[in-house]
Amino acid sequence: MANHDHDTPHITGLGTYFAVFGALMVLTAATVFVAFQDLGMMNNVVALGIATLKAVLVLWFFMHLGHATTFTRVAMASTLFFFFLLLAFLFGDTLTRDLLDVPGRVIEL
Amino acid sequence: MTPLVSTGKRIPDYLNAAYGLKSWLFTTDHKRIALLYMASVTMFFFLGGLMAVLIRLELVTPQGDLVEPDVYNRLFTMHGIIMVFFFLIPAIPATLGNFLIPIMIGAKDLAFPRINLGSWYVYNAGGLFTMYSILNGGVDTGWTFYTPFSTTFSNTYVLATGLGIFITGFSSIMTGLNFLVTIHRMRAPGLTWFRLPLFVWAHYATSIIMLLGTPVLAITVLLVALERSFHIGVFDPAYGGDPILFQHLFWFYSHPAVYIMVLPAMGVISELITCFARKRVFGYRFIAYSSVAIAVLGFLVWGHHMFTTGQSIYASTIFSVLSMLVAVPSAIKVFNWTATLYRGSISWDTPMLYALGFIGLFTIGGLTGVMLATLGIDIHVHDTYFVVAHFHYIMVGGTIMGYLGGIHFWWPKITGRMYPAFWSKFAAITIFIGFNLTFFPQFILGYMGMPRRYHAYPDEWQVLNVMSSAGASILGVGYLIPMIYLAWSMRYGPRAEANPWGAVGLEWEIQSPPTAHNFETEPVVDKEAYAYTAEQGYVPPTKEAEFV
């Protein structure tokens, strides 16, 4: 397996770090701006989308995932996969709790 | 690695490499850290055991006449918290795993020796918070901290105990990270993945759970603290929260945590069975893969703890099916161990008694787990003593039998001393009898409807409760006997040879106890694990046996 993160360390330029920092600040401002707009249920979706984008920037540049070995990326992907499983099963419960037709239960749509 | 020059002299072992308290408290030697952990987990084991004694004494009579109800609540809560977080989870990985993994893979130490020492301090820091909570009266929420009781109604030391668990979780993460990096990067030349001892595979799988699951527990405990202190509205319906969300988050860690407890024990059993049957393990790759399968599938079954909550019936059905699925890799291990025994040259040394005890008790625990995964049965026995009996068969019958089996197997390597064979066999049999007498009646009590966590019960259940308490007394004596003879053995036991069991594996090729750096020269591995030969007592199967 290639091991260039140990043998030949990649040096990211200072400009890149400042650019990423600037992007994170802009995205934070965007989060605040969107929080004051009434987008209905899309408010949460947009806020989480921006947060995910920020997390990717941090992982890719600040935590050097962009220059990591395939193995490190697979390790990262597996943690995301397990987090996805947590969300999938959790929403699998909460979104289907009212689907069963129980006599007397009022279903709110 | 630079080979050390062999002088022909015996190099001081790791116990005699340095002296004084400082040499222990600041050591970065994985073997010494393993012993530090052993001292800590043993202390917590007996503290948790003391609470179990009080619980069983209370339940001798139907009336709640020994302790007040709220004291009883604190007793079973602290028993659970101490045993789960401070004994069962670290017991095997932090002691035997710490001691053996570097040696088994031919390394001098773990990848991050300072992180290893740091993990012990972090573990004890968490323990101190929990001890503070105990000394001030403890917690009464049950070890599960269910909301909204833990966030709104309990007036006990939830925050201090939660903080203790939060901190101790980091020690678990540090250990898991260390094992994963060590196993990936520090294996000796020739030691391919499928030449690794199954003990190492089991710890690899355990480490995955430690790394992926423990942060979720930390977040959950943190949310409980925030909810309790600031009413942020995550779990409390009064503020728009969902109490069942807590159970999802809690069990996302705490069910896989069962596998953190039992997978390392399974690794121990694979080593014991092969050694004392003098045979190559049956289906090596299946056992190795089944460890990883248990680690992965173990993350998909947590909802079976929530069948009687407001969890969606559709989610419950899926969790039920997945819970039965996780029985498959567990069964693969049991069948393969049994097949390994078949026509083996079996000897009945103390570690083997524990291994055989493990297989029987774990099988009962596992099969009753399949019963509990069935929706209808679970609704009948939910939160009864049936569940208590089931998980004690896994955690005590599985993990502690594995731990004690491992301690007895590697004790000569760890200390360089032997222990008395008669007393050790006597203790193993006593523990097996005491355990079954303690917990089997609880299956019947649970099936009859006796709920867990009650300090009083109807008169007709007294006989079974007395049997259980009598069994607990025998079990307690069984646990005390090894404490006595192992302590005796450290000073007065006969000197152990490098390989007293005639086992194969890198740890048996070095002196007992090992030197500080384990190996004089870097070992090169050119054979599979468990390559027992005729010289070591291996009896090849006959032609007929091979085709049966």
pLDDT digits (tens, 9 = 90+) for B289-304: 999 999 999 999 999 9
Q: How far is CA B298 from CA A4, B119, B291, B369, B458, in A?
A: 34, 25, 10, 13, 37
Neighbour-count burial for B280-301, b at 16+ CB within 10 Å, e otherwise = bbbbbebbbebbbbbbbbbbbb
Question: Higher pLDDT residue, A98 or B175?
Answer: B175
| pLDDT of residue A67 exceeding 70 | yes
Residue that is written with structure tokens 């003098």 in the block: B278
* Mean pLDDT to the nearest integer, B183-205: 97
Report the gap between the CA of A45 and the closest CA in chain B (Å).
18
Interface membership of A99 toward B (CB under 8 Å): yes
Identify all chain A residues contacting B248, using CB atoms and an 8 Å cutoff. 86, 89-90, 93
Q: How far apart are CA B310 and CA B319, in angstroms?
A: 14
Is the predicted pLDDT of residue B223 greater than 80, yes or no? Answer: yes
**Which chain A residue shows the shortest CA-CA distance from B180?**
A75
Average pLDDT over residues A62-76: 89
A93 touches chain B (CB under 8 A): yes
B 29-88 residues inside an 8 A Cβ radius of A: none
For B248-257, write each residue's pLDDT tens digit. 999 999 999 9
Q: What ranges do the domains of chain B cover? A: 21-543
pLDDT of residue A105: 60
Nearest CA in chain A to B295: A82
Nearest CA in chain A to B296: A82
Measured between beta carbons, the chain B residues lying within 8 angstroms of A69 are: none
Of B216, B311, B314, the CB nearest to A86: B216
For chain B, what is the mean pLDDT? 94
Nearest CA in chain A to B310: A97
- Residue B538: per-residue pLDDT: 67
Q: From B311, which residue of chain A is nearest by alpha-carbon distance?
A: A93
**Pick from A71, A85, A96: which is nearest to B312 by CB?**
A96
**Tokens 């026509």 sit on residue:** B343
For the cut 70, the answer to whether the pLDDT of residue A77 exceeds it is yes
Residue A89 lies in a domain: yes
Per-residue pLDDT at A2 exceeds 70? no
DSSP-derived letter for residue B384 is B
Amino acid B541: pLDDT:
53
Instruction: State the pLDDT at residue A108.
Output: 56
**pLDDT > 70: what percent of chain B?**
96
Asked whether residue B388 carries a pLDDT value surpassing 80, the answer given is yes
Q: Is B312 on the interface with A (CB under 8 A)?
A: yes
According to DSSP, the residues that pair with B451 across neighbouring strands are: B384
Rg over CA atoms, chain A: 20
Would A47 be classed as within a structural domain?
yes
The yes/no answer to whether this complex scores an ipTM above 0.85 is: no
| pLDDT tens-digit series, residues B89-148 | 999 999 999 999 999 999 999 999 999 999 999 999 999 999 999 999 999 999 999 999
Q: How confident is the model at residue A36 (pLDDT cuts 50, 70, 90)?
A: very high
Q: In which band, very low, low, confident or very high, does the pLDDT at A12 lie, cut at 50, 70 and 90?
A: confident
Across the interface, do B299 and A82 touch by the CB < 8 Å criterion? yes
With a cut of 60, say whether residue A59 has pLDDT above it: yes
Q: What is the mean pLDDT of residues B510-515?
A: 96
Q: Name, in order, each residue with C-beta under 8 angstroms of B343's C-beta and a sequence gap of 6 or more.
A: B279, B539, B541, B542, B545
Q: What is residue B543's predicted lDDT score, i.e. its pLDDT?
A: 47
Q: Does residue B472 contact residue B48 with C-beta atoms inside 8 Å?
A: no
**Partners of residue B156 on adjacent β-strands:** none
Q: Is B263 exposed, middle or buried (0-12, 13-18, 19+ CB in 10 A)?
A: buried
Q: Is there a domain that residue A103 lies in?
A: no
> Considering only alpha carbons, which residue of chain A is nearest residue B216?
A83
Asked whether the predicted pLDDT for residue B235 surpasses 70, the reply is yes
**What would the mean pLDDT of B401-405 be, rounded to a whole number?**
98
pLDDT for B545: 43
Instruction: Say whether B300 and A89 touch across the interface (CB within 8 A).
Output: yes
- Whether residue A86 lies within 8 A of chain B, CB to CB, comes out as yes
pLDDT band at A107 (very low <50, low <70, confident <90, very high): low
pLDDT band at B1 (very low <50, low <70, confident <90, very high): very low
Q: Is B245 on the interface with A (CB under 8 A)?
A: yes
Q: Residue A66: pLDDT band by 50, 70, 90 thresholds?
A: confident
Q: How far is B320 from chain A (nearest CA, A)?
A: 13
Is there a cis peptide before residue B264, judged by omega within 30 degrees of 0?
no
Please indicate whether, in this complex, the C-beta atoms of B313 and A100 are within 8 angstroms of each other: yes
Output B536 or B184, whichever has higher pLDDT: B184
Q: Which residues of B touch A79 (CB under 8 A)?
A: 211-212
Looking at CATH, the fold of the domain delimited by B21-543 is given as: Cytochrome C Oxidase; Chain A (1.20.210)
Mean pLDDT of B366-374: 96
Distances (CA, A) of B295 to A79, B88, B320, B413: 13, 17, 17, 29
In a 13 Å sphere around the CA of B391, the CA atoms on its Cβ side amount to: 20
pTM value?
0.91
Number of domains comprising chain A:
1
- Label residue A49 by pLDDT band (50, 70, 90): very high
Q: Model confidence at B356, in pLDDT bands (50, 70, 90)?
A: very high
A96 interfacial to chain B (CB closer than 8 Å): yes
* Residue-level pLDDT at A101: 67
pLDDT of residue B51 exceeding 80, the answer is: yes
Res. B203: pLDDT tops 50: yes
Nearest to B248 among A71, A90, A97 (CB): A90
More confident residue, B312 or A6: B312
Answer yes or no: are the C-beta atoms of B452 and B385 closer than 8 Å: yes
Q: What is the pLDDT of residue B540?
A: 57
Q: What are phi and psi of B384, to 5 degrees?
A: -110, 180
pLDDT of residue A41: 84
CA B293 vs. chain centroid, Å, equals 18
Number of Cβ pairs < 8 A linking chain A and chain B: 46
For position A98, what pLDDT does the model report? Answer: 79
Range of the domain at A77: 4-94
User: Is the minimum CB–CB distance between A3 and chain B shorter than 8 Å?
Assistant: no
CB atoms within 10 A of CB B114: 10
| pLDDT tens string B434-461 | 999 999 999 999 999 999 999 999 999 9
Report the pLDDT value the prediction gives residue A103, as an integer from 0 to 100. Answer: 64
CA distance linking residue B46 with residue B31, whole number of Å: 23
Q: Please check whether residue B403 is in contact with residue B96, taking contact to mean a CB–CB distance below 8 angstroms.
A: yes
How many residues belong to chain B? 548
Is the pLDDT at B43 greater than 60, yes or no? yes
| Closest by Cα among B350, B344, B492, B334 to B409 | B350
Query: What percent of chain A lies above the pLDDT cut of 70?
Result: 83
- In this prediction, residue B547 carries a pLDDT of 40
